[in-house]
Structure 1
């Protein structure tokens, strides 16, 4: 049944509930034949006619159009706001539950746009919970089932999320294809902020599969596109992605220049809490590109840690800052200080994506090894290894196995260290 048919059915149902004939409902502004055509789905009433009929039937316009009352609409919108808030605060399991309730309770049946919002939110929350297969199924279904009624911006957002999910699952060909279906071809579409973000997902997929030359070339194109779009967010997205590729390809000076420019742009235009998160990422890049300045980056992160606490940042934001502080203190030879920060990380990892939990336990293993606590290091690595065995074979997974191998070597677990090295090599096809 079409939306037009449903509107007609609702008008007919409410009219009968009110004990009115078609002629009584129509008089004096409309003809009874016109009302009959509306109720049978053969005519689409104009917004003005719908308002008139809602007033005559003493019901809300929202109900006639969508099949829900104004009170129900308010409840749905409130539930969506709470789900988004949970997601923004890093409470991904809570967000997933709230979005799933909205999708399954049937209240959104006559609200295609809000249902689409809920399905998209559910997919993002499912991804954040580490369920890549579930997120891919949701995003693929949303992409296929709503293609004709999906706004262009949402279509691009779904492609961004789907490409990221495929990349994290190790399906790099799929990750590239999803993005190239929109960005590929001899003629690029007109660049927008959304397409710049999709470009960063494509750039990450190129880099992950080892196509660093293509990543470098496309990064240049993306920077030029950001100049055309000329918005702060476009600049930040493109420069940040290019900085990461520069680090991956050993171009430290270029990475620093790009990261500096990104931070400067966001410092002028960004929201304070997001700026604090960006500084965490900035410190991470700088530690890779300028490791001799680790004390400077440590001091920056200490300030950011305070900012995150004062701004009510999400658990994920606080955890990522604490992780980088652990790296700094280990580089500085301060394992006891690193231990304080790793405890903060471990206190926050519940309900975090699995990849983040793996990294946290590997990092905890590094700290315990640096402290000479071999048994505790082995215990942390065992937790990480159990999850790593389920991860797809990607460059990212190879790096995690390499980290495990180095820690095991440090605590004289030679046989297990060799096995971890072999697993790292297998992830990159060696």
Structure 2
């Protein structure tokens, strides 16, 4: 049934409940034939006519339009607000439950916009709980619907990010380029620049540096023209990633500092925590002597991530960097504790990040003479990354594994790992 059919049916149902004829409902403002056409779905009443009919029928306008009473609508909006608040406060399991309960509410069926808002919130909560595959399935369902242009871009950002995190880079690129790569690309906005930044991350991970450099410059120019905080953060941070990857560490720090400054002033808690974590990790790589400053930033970021809607993978990544800072300072036992905590948080689907954590554990165990535990972690890494597709990220993981094997005296497997790293890199 069309929307007009449903509105007409509700008017007819309430009219009969009130014991009114079409002529009685119409008089004196409308004709009974016009009311008949409305009830049969052959005419779509204007907002003014709908309001008039609601008054005459002594029912809420919300019921005639949406099939729910004003009280039911208020309950739905309140429940959605509580679910969003739980997600923002980092209560991700509760948020997921609240969104799922709201999706089961039959009154939501005819409220297309609110239902899509609820389903999108459920996808974000599912992602934050570490269920990347579940979040992708929800977003795919939303993407199959007729949704507004901005919602389509939001869904594409989330899908691109989730495919990226799941090491499904071909699909991540396809999602981003599906919006931004065609002749009918939408105008640059905060949303399209954020999608572009997410797509840029996928380019970088699969080793497409030439395209990444070109696209990073395009995003910076677009953000400068827009001049909004959100676009500036997205473009500057990703320019920092490209600069570091191409060997310009100090330039990368400059871009990252600008992004962090804007994020600190305007950003949401979750995104600020993630940005602080990423900046501290960059600082450790570019200026290892600044490890004490980086450690303080990471401790603060970890506290913020725990209190926000950040995913378990976000927190695990922060703990990895804290472990790296402790290793640089010679505090190996503390590093082990941090990285162990990270492995416990990590979802099973995040094999690449999981391998990074295990490699760090292996090196740290080796550094303190616990060679049996070091070899055990290394065996887990080899099992995890062996079936992964060939990407630049996987190549660097194989290379790091080969170095670790070599340090532990496992020369034969080190050679095989180096060969696999070269194969992943296409060499």
Greater mean deviation of Cα atoms: 121-130 or 150-159: 121-130
Could you tell me how far apart the structure 1 residues matched to 2:116 and 2:309 are?
A: 27
Query: Which of these residues, 370, 373, 396, is aligned with residue 373 of structure 1?
Result: 370
Deviation at residue 274 of structure 1 after TM alignment: 4.2
Q: Which residue of 1 aligns with 2:180?
A: 183
| Displacement of 1:216 | 0.7
Q: Is the 8 A contact 1:329 1:338 kept in 2?
A: yes
* Counterparts in 2 of 1:91 and 1:269: CA distance versus 1, 3 Å: closer
1:201 is aligned, of 195, 198, 201, to 198
Structure 1 CA distance for aligned equivalents of residues 338 and 76 of structure 2? 40
Matched with 1:58 is 58
Contact 2:91 2:308 in 1 (8 A): no
| Deviation readout 1:242-276 (Å, 9 max, x if unpaired) | 10111112121221221122223333433566434
Query: Aligned in 2, Cα 1:209/1:423: closer, same or farther, shift over 3 Å?
Result: same
Match of 1:300 among 297, 302, 306: 297
Cα pair distance change 1:115/1:281, threshold 3 Å? same
Q: Is the 8 A contact 1:130 1:354 kept in 2?
A: no
Which ranges of structure 2 fall in alignment gaps of 5 or more residues?
none
> What is the Cα deviation at residue 192 of structure 1?
0.6
Distance in 1, matches of 2:202 and 2:346, equals: 26
Q: Does 1:158 align with 2:151?
A: no
Secondary structure of 1:145's match?
A: coil
Name the counterpart of 2:67. 67
| Structure 1 position 214 matched with structure 2 position 227 | no
Compared CA separation, residues 407 and 25, structure 1 to 2 (3 A): farther
Cα deviation for residue 87 of structure 1 reads 3.8
Aligned position for 2:32: 32
Residue 327 of structure 1 corresponds to 324
Q: Please state how far the C-alpha of 1:293 moved relative to its aligned partner.
A: 2.6
| 2:15 is equivalent to residue 3 of structure 1 | no
Which whole-Å CA distance do the structure 2 matches of 1:53 and 1:264 have between them? 54
Conserved? CA contact 1:315–1:348, under 8 Å = no
1:395 maps to 2:385? no
Corresponding residue of 2:425: 428
When structure 1 is superposed on structure 2, of 227-236 and 33-42 the one drifting more is 33-42
Q: Confirm or deny: 8 A CA contact 2:128 2:311 kept in the other structure.
A: no
State how far apart, in whole Å, the 1-side matches of 2:353 and 2:193 are.
26
Shift of 1:38: 1.3
Q: 1:426 offset after TM fit, Å?
A: 4.2
Q: Within 2, Cα distance between the matches of 1:381 and 1:99?
A: 40
Change (3 A) 1:375 1:65: farther
**Corresponding residue pairs, total:** 426
2:260–2:279 contact (8 Å) kept in structure 1: yes
Deviation at 1:285, TM superposition (A): 1.3
Instruction: Name the SS for the 1:277 alignment partner.
Output: helix
2:262 equivalent to 1:261: no
Deviates more, 1:357-366 or 1:137-146: 357-366
- The answer to whether the Cα contact below 8 Å between 1:91 and 1:315 also exists between their aligned partners in 2 is no
Instruction: Tell me if structure 2 keeps the 8 A contact 1:191–1:228.
Output: no
Residues 46-91 of structure 1 deviation map (CA, whole Å, 9 limit, x = unaligned): 2222223223333322222111233332333344334434443555
Further displaced range: 222-231 or 7-16: 7-16
Query: Separation in 2 of the partners of 1:170 and 1:322?
Result: 21
Alignment of 1:399-410 (within 5 A): 399-410=396-407
Who is 1:12 aligned against? 12
Which residue does 1:142 correspond to in 2? 142
Q: Which residue matches 1:115?
A: 115
Are the structure 2 counterparts of residues 413 and 330 from structure 1 closer, same or farther at C-alpha, using a change threshold of 3 Å?
A: same
1:72-83 matches, within 5 Å, as 72-83=72-83
Q: Which moved more, 1:106-115 or 1:20-29?
A: 20-29
Preserved CA contact (<8 Å) 1:163 1:178: yes
1:157-213 C-alpha deviation (Å, 9 max, x unpaired): 122223334444555444334323332356864211111111112222222222211
Q: Which moved more, 1:325-334 or 1:221-230?
A: 325-334
Deviates further, 219-228 or 357-366: 357-366
2:144 counterpart SS class: helix
Do residues 288 (structure 1) and 285 (structure 2) align?
yes
TM-score by length of 2: 0.85
Q: Are the structure 2 counterparts of residues 389 and 132 from structure 1 closer, same or farther at C-alpha, using a change threshold of 3 Å?
A: farther
Q: Given the superposition, is the C-alpha separation of residues 225 and 131 from structure 1 closer, same or farther in structure 2, using an over 3 Å criterion?
A: same
